[in-house]
Amino acid sequence: MDRESKVEKSESVFGRLSGDSISEILSRTSPLDASRFAIISKGFKSVSGLDTVWEKFVPMEILSRSVVSPPLLYHGGTKKELFFSLCNSPILIDGAKLSFFLDKKSGKKCFTVGARELIISWGDNPDYWIWTSHPDSRFSEVAQLKIVCWLDIRGKIKTDMLSQKTNYKAYLIYKFATAIYGLESMYSVVRLVNHEADSEAEERATLVHPHRGHPMYRHPMPRQPGRLPVRRDDGWMEIEMGDFYNELGDDGEVEARLMEIWRLHGKAGLIVEGIEFRPSTSLNRRNDAIRRTT
C-alpha cells in the first residue's frame, strides 16, 4: 500500500471519531505524539491544538506557586503556547527558591534547586563562601567558593513533586571564578534519603571532573574514568551527579551530593547556581537508575 493510500485509509478510520474522542485520545499521549498526530488526518489536525488537549500537559498546581504569573496564563494565550513557554523559559516558584520547566519531548516536570536551598558545608561562613548575584543566573544569589578543604554540597527535592514512573538525572549547574584550584576531581552520588544511609551512598560515589576543558588547566590532565562537564545554552556548565527512578513519588526526598571530603587540600573558585533534576532520555531500563531497596 503506497503512502497516499495509507493516508486515505487513516482519514477514513479517524474521520468516524468525534472531536471529543480525538481530544481525549491526544490528551493521553505525550506532547510530542500530540503534535505528530496532527499529520494523520484532518480531524486530528483540527483538534490537536485545542486547550482540552494541552491542559493535560500543563501542571496548573505548580503554576499557582509561581513568583510571577506567566504572561500567557492570563493574557489570552492557548494552553499549547503556555506549554512551550514553560519548556523554553523556566519560571521561579516557591518564593524563588526553585525554578521549574517542562521537558519538551515528554512533558515531564523539571526542577532546579537554587543555591540558597542547597546544604553547603560552611556555606554560612563568609571566610569560606560568598553569596552574590550573577548576571547569568535566574536566581537572586549564587554561592561562590573562596576556599575550603572539605567540600560538601547537597540538594534535595521531594519525589512527589516529580513525574511518576520516570528516570531522572541530577546535574550540578556551575561556573568558575577567575582563579580556581583544587577542583580537578570530586565525587558525586544520588540517593533516596529514606532508603539509603550516607555511608552506603558514599561507597558507590562516582568520580566527576568539573574542571575538564577549562582554560585555567592548560596542561593535559591524566586520563581518568568519570563524568565530564557540558556547556549549556544559558552560559552555565553542568555535570551529571547521578540518576534515580521515581516510581510513584512516595519515596520521600531524593538527594544529590557533590563532595571531596577525603583529600583535604585547598579548593577555590567554584560558583554554584543550583542542582537540576530532569528526566533522563538516555536510560532505557529501570535497572540503570538508583531505586529504593526494600
* Tens of pLDDT, residues 211-229: 765 555 444 454 556 789 9
CB atoms within 10 A of CB 142: 23
Query: Which residues of the chain register pLDDT less than 50?
Result: 6, 9, 217-220, 222, 282-294
The one-letter amino acid code at 153 reads: I
Tell me if 232 sits within 8 A of 110, measured CB to CB.
no
d(CA 291, CA 294): 10
- Give the Cα separation of 126 and 55 in Å (integer): 46
- In 3D space, the residue among 45, 31, 36 whose CA is nearest the CA of residue 83 turns out to be 31
Q: Looking at residue 121, what is its pLDDT?
A: 98
Structure-block grid coordinates of residue 78: 492557548
- Superfamily holding 109-288: Galactose-binding domain-like (2.60.120.260)
What's the grid cell of residue 100? 521549574
**Whole-number Å distance between alpha carbons of 60 and 216:** 45
Angle at 103 between CA 101 and CA 107, to 5 degrees: 105
201's grid cell: 551512598
**First vs last Cα of the chain: how many Å apart?**
52
**b/e map of 168-198 (b: 16 or more CB within 10 Å)?**
bbbbbbbbbeeebebbbbbbbbbbbbeebee
Query: Would you list the domain boundaries of the chain?
Result: 3-89, 109-288
Residue closest to 214 by CA, chosen among 242, 257, 178, 173: 178
Question: Which set of grid coordinates corresponds to residue 140?
Answer: 537572586
Closest by CA to 173, choosing from 222, 136, 119, is: 136
> What is the pLDDT at residue 40?
66
Helix (H) or strand (E) holding 81: helix 79-88
Confidence (pLDDT) at 254: 98
